[in-house]
Amino acid sequence: MPEQPLRLTRQRQAVAEALENVPDFRSAQEVHEMLRSGGSTIGLATVYRTLQLLADHDQVDVIRSAEGEASYRRCSGSHHHHLVCRSCGATVEVEGPAVERWTRATAEEHGYADVSHTLEIFGVCRRCSDH
Amino acid sequence: MPEQPLRLTRQRQAVAEALENVPDFRSAQEVHEMLRSGGSTIGLATVYRTLQLLADHDQVDVIRSAEGEASYRRCSGSHHHHLVCRSCGATVEVEGPAVERWTRATAEEHGYADVSHTLEIFGVCRRCSDH
DNA sequence: CTTTGTGCAAAGCCTTTGCAATTTT
DNA sequence: AAAATTGCAAAGGCTTTGCACAAAG
């Protein structure tokens, strides 16, 4: 089945661009606020719909905070994980071939197929440790 | 400061017991339903409050589904991760000293202190693969 | 011109909270 | 009796949806 055409709209460009301009995770509501502050008249629902769309197409990473709020971040394309500062939110992308191998092997050992995984690392970054 | 006394009530016992009797994750609403089915008259709010309490005391593990719903599971105490079947939810606890070491090392390399992490592995279990 | 996308407001869900009644200690 | 806990219903917060209008191809 051919996938339906995706129209390039002002709003979609704006959302994608907003994420391009920040290094860390932003919630839908934050993205909305960023855009409105910048003069856009984009609706909150559109932001939600666009972010979801971007996530479906692997254009952004998604994480869920412990409070249940989803946050989005532009991603480099390759598979990686995030090291997030608990205090200020500063994020570093990290890769770990060893972890990839280990998760796959462990899953298959237990008879699980079609393996995927999520891994987030939390800590306090140097700047925040130093007060 | 001495921590305030926790009273052992019928409801709290019921919630803890409910989780003892299942091997995988259950949401607050599911636990509530389980208990009501069993004849309990426990309120939904109490289930939420108790589950939160158990989580605060590290008596249960918590995960957030991609949809944002929190689920709870009795935990063995030692640090471990979960291998979850995407199809039926069957869960296996797995341990991986290598991963523990890797996450800590990676975080510290980047100057992050007080490191913790979350790792969930997803796949399709044998039973589900075999239709 | 047809199809897809947008905005708004309403509706949905999961979760939390206020408060009077109840249960523990 | 004092203090903690419960139940219910109301309120909250994030996210999704219905629908008429606007925009894209």
B114 touches chain A (CB under 8 A): yes
Q: What is the mean pLDDT of chain A?
A: 86
131 residues of chain B, pLDDT tens digit each: 445 567 889 999 999 999 988 878 899 999 999 999 999 999 999 999 999 999 988 888 888 877 889 999 887 656 778 888 877 777 888 887 888 888 999 999 899 988 888 888 888 888 887 76
What topology does CATH give the domain B77-131? Dna Ligase; domain 1 (3.30.1490)
**A28 and A51 Cβ atoms separated by less than 8 Å:** yes
Collapse the DSSP code of B52 into the 3-class scheme (helix H, G, I; strand E, B; otherwise coil) and give the result: helix
**Residue B5, pLDDT score:** 66
Collapse the DSSP code of A124 into the 3-class scheme (helix H, G, I; strand E, B; otherwise coil) and give the result: strand
Domain A1-75: CATH class, spelled out:
mainly alpha
CB pair distance less than 8 Å for A121 and B126 = no
**What pTM does this model have?**
0.73
Round to a whole number and report the distance in Å from the CA of B38 to the C1' of C23: 21
B115 touches chain A (CB under 8 A): yes
The percent of residues above 90 in pLDDT, for chain B, comes to 38
B116 touches chain A (CB under 8 A): yes
List the structure tokens of B66. Answer: 């991609």
Residue spans per domain, chain B: 1-75, 77-131
pLDDT tens column, A80-103: 788 888 777 778 888 878 888 889
Whether any strand D atom is under 7 angstroms from the Cβ of B2: the reply reads no
| Pick from A70, A66, A72, A68: nearest CA to A86 | A66
pLDDT of residue A69 exceeding 50, the answer is yes
List, in order, residues 6 or more apart from A111 with CB less than 8 Å away.
Answer: B125, B126, B129
pLDDT tens column, A1-10: 445 567 889 9
**Which residues of chain A make contact with B72, given a CB cutoff of 8 A?**
none
List, in order, residues 6 or more apart from B126 with CB less than 8 Å away.
Answer: A111, A112, A113
Round to a whole number and report the distance in Å from the CA of A24 to the C1' of C7: 28
Whether any strand C atom is under 7 angstroms from the Cβ of B6: the reply reads no
Which residues between 25 and 84 in chain A have a beta carbon less than 8 angstroms from any beta carbon of chain B?
Answer: 62, 64, 66, 68-70, 83
